[in-house]
Amino acid sequence: MNEDILKEIELIKERNKKVELDKAWETSWTRRLFIAFGTYVVAIFWLMMIGESLPWLKALWPAVGYMLSTLSLPVVKKWWGKGKK
């Protein structure tokens, strides 16, 4: 019985490490920049496909918009959390 409890505790610890790593990834700058860059590349491709002028410059707007939205999320989350208390 004691071994079962220890095994369960180890499983919980492993799960907690995974959850912490997932949370760190969700809020990491690496993830944000990777998504912003991917958005930029897709926007460039689309703008080139439709024959838009200055696609390299115009593709910045969706990527910048994404980054600004991620910067505002902590503020929105804090405001949202106050309403849940």
**Which range in 2-6, 17-21, 81-85 is most confidently predicted, on average pLDDT?**
17-21
The pTM score is: 0.73
Rounded percentage of the chain residues whose pLDDT exceeds 70: 98
The count of structural domains within the chain is: 1
Rounded to a whole number of angstroms, the distance between the first and last alpha carbons of the chain is: 40
DSSP letters, the chain, are -HHHHHHHHHHHHHHHHHHHHHHHHHT-HHHHHHHHHHHHHHHHHHHHHTT-SSHHHHTHHHHHHHHHHHHHHHHHHHHHHHHH-
**Alpha carbon distance 27, 7 (integer Å):** 31
Nearest Cα neighbor of 32 from 57, 74, 63, 56 is: 63
